[in-house]
Amino acid sequence: MNTDDAKAFDELLRIRANGTPEQRMRASAVITERYSHIRDQFPHGDISYCPHPLDIKYKTLYVSQDSRARFTTLFGCRDWWNGRERSDEWWDGNTQFFRDNPSPIPIDPLIVAQSLAPEFVEFALHDPSLSVRAAAVNGLMDLFRIPQSVPRDGFNLLDVSGLEDWWRTVEPNYRAIVILSRATATPFNLDRVQFYDALLSVKSSTPPTLRDFADKTLADMRARAASLHDIAEDKKKLGDVTCASVHLSFARQTDSWRTDPKIRVNENEYSTNEIESLEGCPAEPKFLSDLVVFATKSQSLKTRYAATRLINEWVGTKLTPLDNAAILKWWSTQRAQN
């Protein structure tokens, strides 16, 4: 028997449930072996690449007659959207890989994850390869993490007998579920403006249980962003912190930000700590334009909160973090007066 034949495996499951005692024993032994064999095939720690779902390269790979190509494509996409959501340090360490594997279409990992969810279900239910089925279910386990979205008995890598009924239940709200699952997957994601904005956009159209979970997640994201920094920890990261030294360091950083605005928008934790460390220091008007950019364009919620808080302290305003319209209106008026 072909060990990668999904239909043959389903027959083993039927025999284990309905066969004679001897047949059930033999079927159970083979099923256990299949699980072990499939798990041994899972890649570990590879840097993976996921073509955009609209990219012809992706379409070509997932309809390939080579089951290994389909298997690798599914795992690659799962690892890829996780990588796109990891810390800045992970990105810095793998920059060359992504330069060598560009996509012709701008890629948003959240949109990729949402787009691939139905396709992963299709692979899990209908692909003739058992290993491809396992890769697809593994991806679904990563996309549907919140308690409200997990099948009653959990996901099963190889037994998909209940998957179709499960999908019928979650499909109407699967995009919101994927957003919630990805947003709460890591502390890094909980600080991302992208996930915050995505949750705001979908929560009103979700059923009460999901809406409550979304509201709690949004509140948690705001609380994390508003939390004050630890001065002692800052000194470990920044050295001997004084107002003069932080002013000087921030001034040097702004020069590089003006050269490459993307650095200012996709800043790392070091930049956030610098902004927080300016709190309590004498106001420096020349930094206000950079702080406004941080407060309205940073991809870090914590940075937006820190920049808005510092503007309020230095200028005496009462701007609300994340209220871009009010911040930009104030800044326009401020510049007109000066």
pLDDT tens-place string over residues 203-248? 999 999 999 999 999 999 999 999 986 655 655 655 666 888 888 8
Question: Tell me, what DSSP letter sits at residue 184?
Answer: T
For residue 299, the model assigns a pLDDT of 87
Mean pLDDT on 256-275:
62
With a CB cutoff of 8 Å and minimum separation 6, the contacts of 258 are: none
Pair (53, 17) in one structural domain: no
pLDDT of residue 97: 43
Domain of residue 269, residue span: 233-337
Each residue's pLDDT tens digit, 38-92: 988 887 654 455 555 556 666 677 678 888 888 888 887 776 666 555 544 444 4
Pair 74, 210 in one domain: yes
Question: Within this chain, do residues 141 and 19 fall inside the same structural domain, yes or no?
Answer: no
The pLDDT of residue 233: 63
Is the domain of 5 the same as that of 126? Answer: no
Residue (of 196, 214, 197) closest to 205 by Cα position: 214
Domain boundary residue among 166, 201, 224?
224
Q: What is the DSSP string of 28-60?
A: HHHHHHHHHHHHHHS--S-------TTSHHHHH
Question: What is the C-alpha separation between 92 and 135, in angstroms, rounded?
Answer: 28
Mean pLDDT of 266-287: 79
Specify whether 30 is located in the same domain as 57.
Answer: no
> In this structure, are 99 and 50 located in the same domain?
yes
Taking only the tens place, the pLDDT of each residue in 278-322 is 888 999 998 999 899 999 998 899 999 999 999 999 999 999 999
Short-list 277, 236, 271, CA closest to 253: 271
Looking at residue 331, its pLDDT comes to 95
216, 98: one domain = yes
Cα separation, 142 vs 114, whole angstroms: 12
Residue 155, SS3 per DSSP: coil
Do 270 and 184 belong together in one domain? no
Read off the pLDDT band of 169 (50, 70, 90): very high
Distance CA 304, CA 37 (A): 48
Bigger pLDDT: 266 or 242? 242
Domain shared by 215 and 68, yes or no: yes
Residues 37 and 152 in one domain: no
pLDDT at 269: 56
Query: Which of 182, 197, 224 is the endpoint of a domain?
Result: 224
Domain count, the chain: 3
Same domain, 141 and 214: yes
Confidence class of residue 276 from pLDDT cuts 50, 70 and 90?
confident
pLDDT tens string 112-159: 778 889 989 999 999 999 999 999 999 899 889 898 888 878 899 999
Q: Are residues 129 and 7 in the same domain?
A: no
